[in-house]
Chain A
Amino acid sequence: MRHHTLPVSPATVHWGYFSKAVAPALTLRSGDRATIETLTHHAGDDYERMIAGDPGAESVFRWTAEHKAVARRGAGPTEGPFLRGSGEGLGVHLLTGPVAIEGAEPGDILEVRILDVRPRPSCSACHAGRCFGSNAAASWGFHFGDHVEEPKGREVITIFELDTAGEPFARAVYNYVWTPQTDPDGILHPTIDYPGVVVDHAKVRERHGILKDVRVPARLHFGTMGLAPSESDFVSSIPPSYTGGNIDDWRIGKGARMYYPVAVDGAFFSVGDPHAAQGDSELGGTAIETSLTGDFEFVLHKKRDLGGTALEGLTHPMLETDDRWSVYGFTFPNYLAELGPDAQTAVASHASLDKAMRDAFRKLRRFLMTVHGLSEDEAIALLSVAADFGVTQVVDANWGVHGSIRKSVFTCTGA
């Protein structure tokens, strides 16, 4: 077992997409561990608190009229003229990686264990050592179009501070309504339509004293973790799919084990979209987006060894925690295959919890039948009385419903 370190830098991140075509930032073997830094793509919402003085963050977010350290942001076109910028923001998450796993081949399963998760403290002079995050109630939120207060159609950024002294929690510092922002290339962003645009605080009005006395229990986790799909070279990081990605389940934190089907040689694991807290549904469009560092362990399960294990027949991401198994249902289990060449744009217009529920049911039924050897009737009886279905997210184009079953149901040894 070797322990690797993967800090953030323009050379170790890719922004807004998964890709089998990007050179690996790190190559390791099954059983190895790695400490991986991740940055939130919302750090530009408060540059002073979340970027200034932090060499890694500064290097990735660097963007002047002359130089943009990470030019491509999204799976969209990289040849101008641009509507929003290179990559066109078709995919938004800053992902660290890819991490290639030696010997991984399609058909294998990659297990990723999260050993620890830590927030990334601010380095700026006034806030050094404190940890901050940003929540955007954005145009892609479930609430959007349904505002009850004026002005309707607004996007709101709320900056949170994470307090880790005791039982960790987040409290709001201030919020502001998004105003049109001009990026260093001169493109105007009337809405939050491109990641990494640093907000000019002279153009927004900070409201302090909000969410007074409200403490949001911390749930440190990675919103986006997954492997490169085989279908395209550049795949938007927004819709989750069969190789994982932007699942946005807050249970994918310390102690979690995630299992992903390998779709390309080397697996090409990437991680990002770190969150300090999120509710089931991620309703407003984002969590409390906070840069985090994680310790990971990677275990490759070869295809030939899967029979008779919990991974037999697995074709989708699955979570194991100390007390439960969760499978992830999506509106489209594999939207890239189902929707054809326009999948990456078409997926957004078909969002549906009803289809995601259907998918979660099928996946959990299959799990109970294949892995636990139950008949269909037994599986359905158990699903009704012991499995819980919840809303994972309604904001990532390919909506999610997770189905969970407690491990205690199966452990029947002793009294």
Chain B
Amino acid sequence: MNVRRFTSESYPDGERRAAWRGVLAALGLSADAPSAGWGSHATAILRGTGEGITVGRLVAERQILSPMVRPAAVPFVGVPLILIPLDEGANLDVGGERRPVRAGQIALLPRHGGAPVPIFDGGRTLVLSAGDEAFRGRRIGTASKILPRVMAAEGLAGVLAGSLASAAEALDALSDPEWEAVAAGLAELLLALLRGSAAAADESAGATSAATAGQAALLHRVHQSIERRLDDPDFTPGRAAEALGISERYLHRLFEGTGDSFAHTVRERRLLRSRLDLSNPAEAHQTVSEIAFRCGFTDAAHFSRAFRDRFGLSPRAFRQGEIERTKEAASPGVQRGWPQDSAVQTRVRRPETRRGPSAPQVPAIDAGTAPRHHHLAVAADRVHWGFFSRALKPVLEVASGDTITVETLSQHASDDPALMIAGDPGAEEVFRWTRDGKAVDRRGAGPLDASVYGRGAGEGFGVHICTGPIAVRGAEPGDVLEVRILDMAPRPSRAPGVAGRVFGSSAAAWWGYHYGELLSEPKPREVVTIYEIDVGAEQPHARALHSFRWTPQTDPSGVVHRTYDYPGVPVDPGSVVRRHGVLDGIRVPLRPHFGVIGVAPRENDLVDSVPPSYFGGNLDNWRLGKGASVFLPVSVPGALLSIGDPHAAQGDGELSGTAIECSMTGTIAVVLHKRAELDGRPFAGLTYPLIETPTDWVLTGFSHPNYLAEFGAKGQSAVYATSSLDLAMKDAFRKARRFLMQAGGLDEDEAVALISAAVDFGVTQVVDGNWGVHAILSKRLLPSPRVPIEPERHERCGFT
């Protein structure tokens, strides 16, 4: 989405003025001699089209604005700027003559360079700027004669003012095709207004050929009927004249007054319409010929020629270019996961049986035996990458009360394979990827044949390396699975020269919250920072070793990854420039935790690992570390528990898109709470992941508590499009109220009073599609009736 937002809050004092000038320039405005008080506060939102139409809403203290004037040498149609002040007190100054512009009135500022230059001063202002390309081929008449003026918001000017105001209000709410339509509408209104204005100018100059206001209105109707009949190849001047009740001759005379002709206008509009359709992703299923026919062309070859003459390249080439452009510009940053308009996502998929004959033996346990300890090392056949699935065969079966040492790998280890993969047999096996294929082919819930984007198997719709799934004997839908984290230890490097040290990586990636509004060049960019983790220090911490900007990486299969769009692509150290000395002197306190702990969802066979939901998954809450438990509602027989996405440290928000991602090994205890035994427990009737720490209950709220159910088949794409903290806050509130009423035995009024006085709501993450807000309830508030079931303690798992 080509929306540009600006706020002075982003810039230090000294840089605000220059940044603001940049905003104004995008609207064709320049600010002269800003008053001394300027700089305290300014915001703007701008949106433009490929046709050179830009709408902006400026909020600033009073300032002096004038149109940027092109050098006289450049031939320029010179479409005037439209400025509408939102507050009283604005003025338009022309050659020393001051005219007040009331709120909502239109100030017309020509920019053809004819002296005197009009000067506008005002505060909050709407701006409509149409570059000369917006009307190429459509004459405004004698535009150079249009004088600066103030127009009352009535008649056509009123319609334009109103449309501009509502368009400005909705700038960031419109999809690209919607916005194109709105902008085209505004351009039409502007054109009609200018025609009237030019006519008036001609009249006042005593020009004899001037169209009268009545003629302008008639001309506007002609244009409207042209718009309606663009698809009709037989729309001749005769039929147009007939429809309007005028003679064909008079029709031609109307156009002569504007320096244009009927035939030219129709052809131009048809070409522009076809261009719009060709660039619209929603029309991608139409062939070029179909679009040509729909735009009133009867001959594809003729259309092709006309298009090339007009726009300089063939329709096919233009369309290809647009697809590339939208892929590069729009798809990252807009959403992760399935693209919403992908046809592939409805394809029926067979459950995969990815485990070969070498699948590990599932140890069988007799019921009633003492708790056992298991060790789950990472291996290509013990991980699944980027998705959860009810269809996966478990790699281990355990009984309630058992403890498990679970090795997990960070999918970001490939950011520096020499530090985080080399020499480590488990990691080397999982990440193995040669020209002939990968040890773990599927990465993500997308199609195996990569038919959406061509990134690779699974398309990276889901990125986390998950160890598991672990089946829990006797677990059935309706039960609650408790996963206690008894211990966590980082996985030391085994690489030559650095063995025993611990490294992690953090990517400020295109799905980060910051990505759309970077301040410094080059924009946009992705940056990976490599950290060394010191767990032995008095205050365990991470410090940065170096960082690098992502450069296009070619994976061993030959696919080029321009952005961080597929997990496990080994970064070629020779292709990036390392910056040392970054975050100098800064130590990030550790908060070791698992980003992903989840059970298999019931809805689909393949579920993207990125958006968290009722089944847990990518919770990204740093409180889920050693000493904490998470309670998960079981949805499928055996529960199918998976763990991954280990983090050494993360802040509430996970703003850049990732934490300090660092492979770790956890020791967990798994306790199954059967449905029949839940009465009176704090997690009775649980429908969401509930975290318990030694001091608090942490309730997880999401924009969409169960997005798979809420959006149905479209869930895996829709969830990315509707992320909102406001929705997540609502969800967290409702869960907190329910928890206090159910587990605390309070009535609603008591619960709301207590929430207001004592429950803390925080931002969990704003980068995982389904955004999170958590509610923290101190256990001190309510004496917990919970009877702890202590599993056997397991000694700290060490590594050599």
Instruction: Name the one of A142, A278, A378, A403 contacting B582, with C-beta atoms under 8 angstroms.
Output: A378
Instruction: Name the one of A137, A177, A362, A388 contacting B762, with C-beta atoms under 8 angstroms.
Output: A388
Q: Which A residues are CB-close (under 8 A) to B8?
A: 315
Q: Which A residues are CB-close (under 8 A) to B246?
A: none
Q: Which residue of B lies closest to A412 (CB)?
A: B585
B343 at the interface (CB under 8 A from A): no
Instruction: Please state if B755 and A362 are interface contacts (CB–CB under 8 Å).
Output: no
A359 at the interface (CB under 8 A from B): yes
CA distance A378 to B581 in the complex (A): 10
Instruction: Please state if B757 and A287 are interface contacts (CB–CB under 8 Å).
Output: yes
Instruction: Please state if B651 and A387 are interface contacts (CB–CB under 8 Å).
Output: yes
| Most chain A CB neighbours (cut-off 10 Å) among B11, B762, B763 | B763
Instruction: Please state if B514 and A361 are interface contacts (CB–CB under 8 Å).
Output: yes
A363 at the interface (CB under 8 A from B): yes
Q: Measured between C-beta atoms, what is the minimum distance from B479 to chain A in Å?
A: 26
Instruction: Please state if A315 and B40 are interface contacts (CB–CB under 8 Å).
Output: yes
Instruction: Name the one of A147, A242, A286, A375 contacting B756, with C-beta atoms under 8 angstroms.
Output: A286
A302 at the interface (CB under 8 A from B): no
Instruction: Please state if B11 and A366 are interface contacts (CB–CB under 8 Å).
Output: yes
Instruction: Please state if B13 and A313 are interface contacts (CB–CB under 8 Å).
Output: yes
A139 at the interface (CB under 8 A from B): no
Q: Which A residues are CB-close (under 8 A) to B744?
A: 214
Instruction: Please state if A380 and B527 are interface contacts (CB–CB under 8 Å).
Output: yes
Asked, given contacts A384-B657, A386-B589, whether A391 binds B755 with beta carbons under 8 Å apart, the answer is: no
B542 at the interface (CB under 8 A from A): yes
B256 at the interface (CB under 8 A from A): no
Q: Which B residues are CB-close (under 8 A) to A210?
A: 747, 749-750
Instruction: Please state if B755 and A279 are interface contacts (CB–CB under 8 Å).
Output: yes
B70 at the interface (CB under 8 A from A): no
Asked, given contacts A214-B754, A390-B762, whether A382 binds B586 with beta carbons under 8 Å apart, the answer is: yes
Please choose the segment from B553-561, B684-692, B775-783 that sits at the chain A interface, where 4 or more of its residues have CB less than 8 A away.
B775-783
B547 at the interface (CB under 8 A from A): yes
Among residues 288 to 334 in chain A, which have CB atoms less than 8 Å away from a CB atom of chain B?
288, 312-313, 315-316, 333-334
Asked, given contacts A340-B124, A390-B652, whether A401 binds B763 with beta carbons under 8 Å apart, the answer is: yes
Instruction: Please state if B753 and A242 are interface contacts (CB–CB under 8 Å).
Output: no
Instruction: Please state if B734 and A374 are interface contacts (CB–CB under 8 Å).
Output: no
Q: Which A residues are CB-close (under 8 A) to B726?
A: 352-354
A8 at the interface (CB under 8 A from B): no
Chain B 706-746 against A: per-residue CB contact (8 Å), 1 yes, 0 no?
00000000000000000011100110011001000000101
Size of B's binding interface in residues, CB under 8 A: 87
Among residues 759 to 790 in chain B, which have CB atoms less than 8 Å away from a CB atom of chain A?
759-763, 766, 773, 778, 780-783
Chain B 543-565 against A: per-residue CB contact (8 Å), 1 yes, 0 no?
01001000000000000000000
A26 at the interface (CB under 8 A from B): no
Instruction: Please state if B12 and A366 are interface contacts (CB–CB under 8 Å).
Output: yes
CA distance A215 to B754 in the complex (A): 10
Q: Which A residues are CB-close (under 8 A) to B759?
A: 279-281, 283
Instruction: Please state if B737 and A135 are interface contacts (CB–CB under 8 Å).
Output: no
Q: Which residue of B lies closest to A135 (CB)?
A: B753
Instruction: Please state if A283 and B724 are interface contacts (CB–CB under 8 Å).
Output: no
Asked, given contacts A277-B758, A408-B539, A412-B586, whether A141 binds B729 with beta carbons under 8 Å apart, the answer is: no
CA distance A338 to B44 in the complex (A): 10
Instruction: Please state if B589 and A409 are interface contacts (CB–CB under 8 Å).
Output: yes
Q: Which A residues are CB-close (under 8 A) to B205?
A: none
B520 at the interface (CB under 8 A from A): yes
Q: Which residue of B lies closest to A176 (CB)?
A: B749
Asked, given contacts A363-B9, A366-B10, A385-B659, whether A375 binds B585 with beta carbons under 8 Å apart, the answer is: no
Asked, given contacts A283-B755, A415-B538, whether A389 binds B761 with beta carbons under 8 Å apart, the answer is: no
Q: Measured between C-beta atoms, what is the minimum distance from B107 to chain A in Å?
A: 17
Instruction: Please state if B756 and A282 are interface contacts (CB–CB under 8 Å).
Output: yes
Instruction: Please state if A287 and B756 are interface contacts (CB–CB under 8 Å).
Output: yes
Asked, given contacts A366-B12, A391-B773, A406-B589, whether A381 binds B527 with beta carbons under 8 Å apart, the answer is: yes
Instruction: Name the one of B13, B512, B514, B761 contacting A280, with C-beta atoms under 8 angstroms.
Output: B761
Q: Which A residues are CB-close (under 8 A) to B583?
A: 374, 378, 381-382
Q: Which A residues are CB-close (under 8 A) to B11?
A: 366
Q: Measured between C-beta atoms, what is the minimum distance from A235 to chain B in Å?
A: 15
A25 at the interface (CB under 8 A from B): no
CA distance A385 to B61 in the complex (A): 37
Q: Which A residues are CB-close (under 8 A) to B754?
A: 211, 214, 216
A9 at the interface (CB under 8 A from B): no
A79 at the interface (CB under 8 A from B): no
Instruction: Please state if A380 and B755 are interface contacts (CB–CB under 8 Å).
Output: no
B587 at the interface (CB under 8 A from A): yes
CA distance A279 to B776 in the complex (A): 9
A-B contacts, 19 listed (Cβ < 8 Å): A147-B748, A149-B749, A156-B753, A158-B750, A242-B41, A277-B757, A279-B759, A282-B756, A287-B757, A361-B653, A362-B10, A366-B11, A381-B547, A384-B658, A385-B651, A388-B651, A391-B762, A409-B586, A409-B589
Chain B residues with a Cβ under 8 A of chain A: 7-13, 40-41, 43, 59, 61, 86-88, 123-124, 506, 508, 512-514, 517-520, 525, 527, 529, 537-539, 542, 544, 547, 582-583, 585-589, 649-660, 724-726, 729-730, 733-734, 737, 744, 746-750, 752-763, 766, 773, 778, 780-783
Q: For the A-B complex with A385-B659, A389-B655 known, give 5 more contacts whose Cβ atoms are closer than 8 Å.
A: A214-B746, A333-B43, A357-B653, A384-B659, A386-B649
